[in-house]
Structure 1
Amino acid sequence: MDDLPPAAREAFARTWTDGRPWNFLTRLTALGDRMAGGPGDARAGDLVADAFADAGVERVEFDPFEMAHWTRGETTLELTAPDERSFEAIALPYAPAADVSGPLVDVGYGTPAEIDDHDVEGAIVVASTTTPAGGRFVHRMEKFNYAIDSGAAGFVFVNHDPGQLPPTGALRYDEEAIAPAAGVSKETGAWLTDYAKRGGRAHLTVDAATEPGESRNVVGHLGPETDRELVFCAHYDAHDTAEGALDNGCGIATVVTAARILAEMDLDVGVRVVGVGAEELGLTGAEHLVETLDLDRVAAVVNVDGAGRFRDLVAMTHASEQMGDVASRVADDARHPIRVESEPHPFSDQWPFVRSGVPAVQLHSDSGERGRGWGHTHADTRDKVDDRNIREHGMLAALLVRELATEVADGELPRLDDDELAAEFRRANFETGMKAASIWPTDWE
């Protein structure tokens, strides 16, 4: 940091006490429903564009794209045997309108191996939001789609955290699923597990619709015009059940905070700054970016999804050793810890780039707990946020982008190799679940 120009040093100093990140987050979360394709999504995009421009991002514009807009109606989950009672439940996005009945079958964590150990044909499967310790976190899409492929008629996703918090989360990427699913609280899940042991049966109905819709990416530029560029992004949409403060209000606020600092730096390559739309419903904005950008020009991607929420920053480097080295250098120079995790995953906006061979880092943060916590529930509200984390992670993100820009200017960042990347995903046991969710690349066969 000793070589920073005076204006950049002043920008860092101001960030320690800057109230603008909190004010931006306040305006964003006050919108309520930011589900992609809806009116709150459009208002959120306007706020992001204004915040980018105020931070010094140049040539800010909207880039619209088509997406599958899902709307939620009423969901009912009723026990029909051995007792008759009803439970609170919410449909998971891209669940179709449906009316199904069947035996309750508890498959524990819902891993493919556990599902294989049960007869789920015609059943309403009950699975936890968490996964066993010691292995990677198995995503909701993997659990749901594998259960349905195995013959289940419906799916119930049980929050592993207490507090009467039914979870949400999309079932497919930008398309309607073929069977219904609903989220229920941990407390409800305890009843369902008990009834499943006693031969319980349930009736699940979902009122929902999937129709053509539109969202937008908010795109701007920082730094010089160069042949190579970096993409620095965060999604701004959120689920309709809460304010989306942690996921991903903190992330987009971190990007705005970092952009204000980067605007005062002498960057070695250009940076495309993007507020990404429709991440929660299929990474659709990121897919649109990959389709419209000249990927030969994109040297690397910094995706901020999860940063700013908790104290310790995590750099998820998606099998790129060089990205890990950059994150470690920033941590050493700034004397702030950044934990590097190299294992890749396909569940955030870096995935379309990684799949195309572009090195990427996802900036996340660690709560010390396993799973999403308040995320994807109606408890994801502004009061959970400590904006000191946003400001600090914004500063670290700015340093990381600057270091990456220098790395690109000094030499080529190696592209990701398809065979090596596929091997990494297989090593982490992703293949079965990703194939069930129809997101395993055909090039990897």
Structure 2
Amino acid sequence: MNPETAAALGELWRDDYPWEFITRLTEIGDRMGGSPGERRAADLVAEGFERAGAREVEVESFEMTRWSRGDAELAVTDPVERSFETIALPYSPAGEVSGELVDAGHGTPDELDAVDVAGNIVVASTTTPEGSRFVHRMEKFGHAAAAGAEAFVFRNHKAGQLPPTGSLRFDREAAIPGVGVSLETGDWLTDYADRGGRAHLRVDAETTPGTSHNTHGQLGPDTDDEILVVGHHDAHDIAEGALDNGCGITVVVAAAHLLSKLDLDTRVRVAGVGCEETGLLGADALAERLDLDSVRAVVNVDGAGRFRDLRALTHGSETMAEIANAVEDEANQPISITEQVHPFSDHWPLLKRGVPALQLHSESGERGRGWGHTHADTRDKVDDRNLREHAMLVALLVREIAARDGIPRPSAESVAGNLRSGDYEEGMKAAGIWPESWD
């Protein structure tokens, strides 16, 4: 490592700005896509990019479908009458339903197929069994809705009276109501399901046209090609969104400050995008705006900075794995590698269009989201050492990518094949996100 790079890394290690940034971000409160708070977050990201010395920093708007949370009520009506705390999930329609409670375990396709969900209210966990692939919430919900369920209740797998949230669809209203309940409530509901219990669910919510915002700027030389570094600045409205994705966008802003001090071979576009939580809408709007033939690669920072060790999702790219290994050796810091394509984050709108992708997450040692998507996703869970260290690693990874002349572009066939090998196709079709052209 040359002295200039070492000095820049040392400066970031002593920098208080990452903690200042995440503090100001989490003080905003509601950053749900399309809300005034989400616009304030976009402006804060622009300020961070300008501090880093980025040029042509701008905040752009895009049209989207905004979901507004109302009240939700869940009551068991048989064999006893009692009410439980619950929250609606984004894009749940408003309405009232009654039905028999059905316990679908983890909500995997096989478990849903094994029970009679038609006309009933399905209860399933937010996690999946150890040793199996992670089944996304949208897949569980889509499978149940297609089988005729009246409503879906997600029970948290993490204790603490924490109802979870998370979108049911991408950018449009779902077919049936969906809500979240705590682990403790879920335990009662599965007990009542075993006893043939029934429940009544009411959801008040609204889906309307809205406007969200992306922020982006440029660093490095003004080359024809560029590397896109992106993180989402929106969050679910029930908490501060410190871990998801306050940490990630803080890492992007801090990495931008470091990248401005490094010698780069290719232009780097840094971006904060809105509406990841409601359907990757900001990333999709940015992908539509950019000339993707000139985007050499996308680095998606979603999950980095939360926990101690960095994890690189390479999406089947051998070159990205080589780059991660090279930076791991240079920095003497662990970077674990996952090769499976993951379609539920902001790299996806570019990856499915043929742009090589690297997603940067971090290792919690737990299965599932942990505190994310609950009231407990607050700043006290953040360790600012992780923010600074992961910003350093992100900057080094981006510099290494920028120095590579040829990163093979994935074909639709290779991406689809990777997803099929991981048993994702059926679930993505249930969630409505499998590209029709791939069939």
Q: Same fold (TM over 0.5)?
A: yes
Q: SS state of the match for residue 296, structure 1?
A: helix
What residue is the counterpart of 2:186 in the other structure?
189
What residue is the counterpart of 1:404 in the other structure?
401
What residue is the counterpart of 2:431 in the other structure?
437
What residue is the counterpart of 1:198 in the other structure?
195
CA distance in 2, matches of 1:143, 1:321: 31
CA distance in 1, matches of 2:301, 2:415: 21
Q: Deviations over 1:384-424 (max 9, x none)?
A: 000100000000000000000001xxx22111021121111
Deviation at 1:346, TM superposition (A): 0.9
CA distance in 2, matches of 1:281, 1:148: 19
CA distance in 2, matches of 1:414, 1:287: 22
CA distance in 2, matches of 1:48, 1:421: 32
Deviation at 1:170, TM superposition (A): 0.3
What residue is the counterpart of 2:250 in the other structure?
253
What residue is the counterpart of 1:417 in the other structure?
411
Q: SS state of the match for residue 202, structure 1?
A: strand
Amino acid aligned to 1:320: S
Q: Residues 370-381 of structure 1 correspond to what in structure 2 (within 5 A)?
A: 370-381=367-378
What TM-score, normalized by structure 2, do the two folds share?
Answer: 0.99
* 1:428 matched to 2:422: yes
- Provide the aligned length of Structure 1 versus Structure 2: 439
Amino acid aligned to 1:16: W
Q: Residues 34-433 of structure 1 correspond to what in structure 2 (within 5 A)?
A: 34-407=31-404, 411-433=405-427
CA distance in 1, matches of 2:232, 2:260: 20
Q: Which runs of 4+ in 1 moved over 3 A?
A: none
Deviation at 1:224, TM superposition (A): 0.8
Give unmatched runs, 5+ long, in structure 2: none
Contact kept in structure 2, 1:315 and 1:327, CA below 8 Å: yes
CA distance in 1, matches of 2:44, 2:430: 37
Q: Deviations over 1:20-74 (max 9, x none)?
A: 0000000000011100101111111111111110111111001110011110110
CA distance in 1, matches of 2:255, 2:43: 19
Deviation at 1:11, TM superposition (A): 2.2
CA distance in 1, matches of 2:437, 2:326: 34
What residue is the counterpart of 1:21 in the other structure?
18
Alignment identity in percent?
Answer: 62
Amino acid aligned to 2:333: H
CA distance in 2, matches of 1:167, 1:135: 22
Deviation at 1:99, TM superposition (A): 0.5
Amino acid aligned to 2:240: E
Q: Deviations over 1:331-368 (max 9, x none)?
A: 01111010010101110000111111111010000110
Deviation at 1:206, TM superposition (A): 0.4
Q: SS state of the match for residue 137, structure 1?
A: coil
Deviation at 1:10, TM superposition (A): 2.6
Q: Deviations over 1:79-138 (max 9, x none)?
A: 010100000000000001110110000000001111011110011000100001112111
Q: Deviations over 1:238-294 (max 9, x none)?
A: 000000000000000001111111001111000111001110011000110111110
CA distance in 2, matches of 1:57, 1:249: 20
CA distance in 2, matches of 1:227, 1:273: 16
CA distance in 1, matches of 2:151, 2:223: 51
CA distance in 1, matches of 2:230, 2:114: 41
CA distance in 1, matches of 2:313, 2:297: 13
CA distance in 2, matches of 1:357, 1:319: 12
Amino acid aligned to 2:423: N
Q: Deviations over 1:188-233 (max 9, x none)?
A: 0000000000001011110000000001100100011111110001
Q: SS state of the match for residue 299, structure 1?
A: strand
Amino acid aligned to 2:391: G
Amino acid aligned to 2:432: S
Amino acid aligned to 2:94: A
For the aligned residue pairs, the C-alpha RMSD in angstroms reads: 0.8
Deviation at 1:9, TM superposition (A): 3.2
CA distance in 2, matches of 1:57, 1:242: 30
Moved more, 194-203 or 423-432: 423-432
Q: SS state of the match for residue 19, structure 2?
A: helix
Contact kept in structure 2, 1:11 and 1:260, CA below 8 Å: no
Contact kept in structure 2, 1:57 and 1:222, CA below 8 Å: yes
Give unmatched runs, 5+ long, in structure 1: none
Deviation at 1:430, TM superposition (A): 0.7
Contact kept in structure 2, 1:357 and 1:416, CA below 8 Å: yes
Moved more, 377-386 or 128-137: 128-137
Amino acid aligned to 1:148: A
What TM-score, normalized by structure 1, do the two folds share?
Answer: 0.98
Q: SS state of the match for residue 292, structure 2?
A: coil
CA distance in 1, matches of 2:63, 2:293: 24
